[in-house]
Amino acid sequence: MAEPGAGNTVYPLTFEPVFRDYIWGGRRLETLLGRRLPPGIVAESWEISGHPDSPTRVAAGFWRGHTLPEVVAQMGLDLVGTHSAGLLARGRFPLLVKLLDANQDLSVQVHPDDAYAAANERGEIGKAEMWYVLYAEPGYELVHGVKPGVSPAQFRAPIDRGNVADLLNYVRVSPGDVIDIPAGTIHALLAGAVVAEIQQTSDVTYRVHDWGRVGQDGTPRPLHIDRAMDVIDFDRPSRVPTPPQPITKTDSLCREILVSRPQFTTERLLLAPGATYRGRCDGSSLEIWGCMAGDCSIAWAGEPLTLAALRFVLLPAALGRFTITCGQRSTLLRVYV
């Protein structure tokens, strides 16, 4: 059987992940998800990345071995779609997909929006993101926002003293829950969870509290308090878990919107065994599909592709019509601009 897309430049793209060894990681991407990992701590697996720090390489077909930024440069709008033309003109791929293993508490942090990042981070883009919870220990909580009524002045004073823990909003979540994290939202993934993260292609992070931890060099990791205070939205209410918005519900298919914003929309599809979903990439946007549970086959004009949990595939904007068929009960995420 030929490789998917052999001889064809427009086909479903799969990637070799890139692993990051931040100090808060562990080994659960191996023990829970069955991933083959390098030795040591693995905090993140960058599944689909056009970020220059850790670009992923295409796993098969015509573009095999090429990094995603190289494919973007060659395919242009045929890959990303007209809705991302502005980002393409700046040489940017719109989305970044990761798996995160929180073996320790992550820092309390916030990300800027596009306007603030452009003005203060050398033309960078902002970072809106979402988490889809894959695993959480019983009674698990994470940080999302500050407690109601906390003002900037009330928040700033404890930061300067090195402790804001009592002012944070802690929320209990379970596997399958969705956490929407718009730019400006204070947040922290705490120890005891594995999540899929979908975000803008940006790594601009303002750390405001790190639990007294030191980095690998033995010194405290830097904080970014002034810029964090510039961008924190103290008035946004915390709605976690984010309630799904139903689109379609039949005996074989449940389709719902999880997060929708100008930067990206994420849907969840729950399919019964043998169920199908028919879609079309019409040139306006790429689509990223992730299999969270079960498995599926993606049929298009070329060689069909099998997608098992927990894997992701990028459908180029110019791909055209495709059909997804599930062999067993499956949960899929669909992301597009």
Task: Sort strands 330-336 and 287-293 into parallel, antiparallel or unpaired.
Answer: antiparallel
Give SS3 for 224.
coil
Q: What are phi and psi of 115, to 5 degrees?
A: -65, -45
Q: What torsion do the CA atoms of 62, 335, 194, 170 make, to the nearest 10 degrees?
A: 160
Active-site residue identified among 57, 64, 156, 207: 207
Return d(Cα 254, Cα 247) in angstroms, integer. 8
Q: How many C-beta atoms lie closer than 10 Å to residue 254's C-beta?
A: 18
Give yes or no for a contact between 139 and 172, defined as CB atoms under 8 angstroms apart: yes
Return d(Cα 229, Cα 127) in angstroms, integer. 16
The total number of residues shown for the chain amounts to 337
Residue 263: what residue type? Q
The maximal CA–CA distance of the chain, rounded, in angstroms, is 64
Nearest to 264 by CA among 243, 246, 285, 282: 285
Give yes or no for a contact between 287 and 336, defined as CB atoms under 8 angstroms apart: yes
Q: What are phi and psi of 85, to 5 degrees?
A: -60, -40
| CB-based burial label for 128 (10 Å; 0-12, 13-18, 19+) | buried
Element (H, E) at 80: helix 77-80
Q: Is position 239 annotated as part of the catalytic site?
A: no
Question: What's the Cα-to-Cα distance from 110 to each of 3, 113, 204, rounded to whole Å?
Answer: 42, 10, 9
Return d(Cα 112, Cα 227) in angstroms, integer. 9
Active-site residue set: 207
